[in-house]
Structure 1
């Protein structure tokens, strides 16, 4: 019997993927304990995948023909960019279905973002925002060479939620 893990393919999202991207994003945030309430306003916003895709690039990780993760990729000045400086490519909402976590899908998405950034003229770094206590995400980013840049950390408006900024210089 072949027990080798299935290959993860990263590709651009298509409209037929939107419902699964929304489900995976919400499920992964709830599973990780980032939110307690599935009706939280932010989770409502991330469910609007078609609107987000109109303004950004969204990629999916696919295994055996099934979407198991996604990431949103933006440039400085985009309405979805939180922290990107002019020379940075930013990614947001890198999520993997809780049933497929620790399978390489998150690393495949991250590698694809970094490889893409290296092809862009004028881009010399990749940036992201992550939650203060999101240890698994921090480990993935550090393993890929990202460093925490505390002087760029910021609070979600009107909350006490501190978000950390990580950067990878290319």
Structure 2
């Protein structure tokens, strides 16, 4: 999408980020039967304190179309990353803006950030059976499944571990 800008979120973006993240997870069916995860998704202030929240913005309108949280090992939001790895979480695009390239731009920004920091890889987890478009995006970017990184935070929520090795990084 032309006219798309990825930048760090400001506190003025937090309400939009909270709204669109919860809406995206709800639209994809990922909050059915969940207890409390919508509140975690909506707590953008906490995410920004413990990681880097990025937003994809329509340059023409200033509208926040999507967001993602980038973290390093040791962050309260790091689930899979180990030494030399970065991770991103909670990538979400407003359901009304999906298909415009915001998700890909956010994922690419996280990979670029990891490379700039000298990370050897980026790891993520995706919910099995959900978000087919996200699975396709990550596959196109070169992420590969690591079954040993699969896990389940609560019964009935199965997360698949994916990893992208960064070329030229140790």
1:113 to 110, 127, 136: 110
1:133 aligns with 2:126: no
Q: Deviations over 1:137-157 (max 9, x none)?
A: 110100111111111100114
CA–CA separation in structure 2 for the residues paired with 1:46 and 1:104: 21
For normalisation by structure 1, the TM-score amounts to 0.92
SS at match of 1:156: strand
SS at match of 1:86: coil
Q: Shift in Å at residue 51 of structure 1?
A: 1.5
CA–CA separation in structure 1 for the residues paired with 2:139 and 2:164: 9
CA–CA separation in structure 2 for the residues paired with 1:55 and 1:118: 20
CA–CA separation in structure 1 for the residues paired with 2:26 and 2:80: 24
The RMSD of aligned alpha carbons is: 1.3
Return 5+ residue gaps in structure 2 as ranges: none
Q: Shift in Å at residue 160 of structure 1?
A: 2.6
Equivalent pairs, count = 163
Aligned to 1:60: 55
CA–CA separation in structure 2 for the residues paired with 1:146 and 1:55: 24
Q: Deviations over 1:79-104 (max 9, x none)?
A: 11011111110000010000000110
Q: Deviations over 1:80-135 (max 9, x none)?
A: 101111111000001000000011000111111111111113x1000101100121
SS at match of 1:16: helix
1:22 aligns with 2:18: yes
CA–CA separation in structure 1 for the residues paired with 2:46 and 2:111: 24
Return 5+ residue gaps in structure 1 as ranges: none
For normalisation by structure 2, the TM-score amounts to 0.92
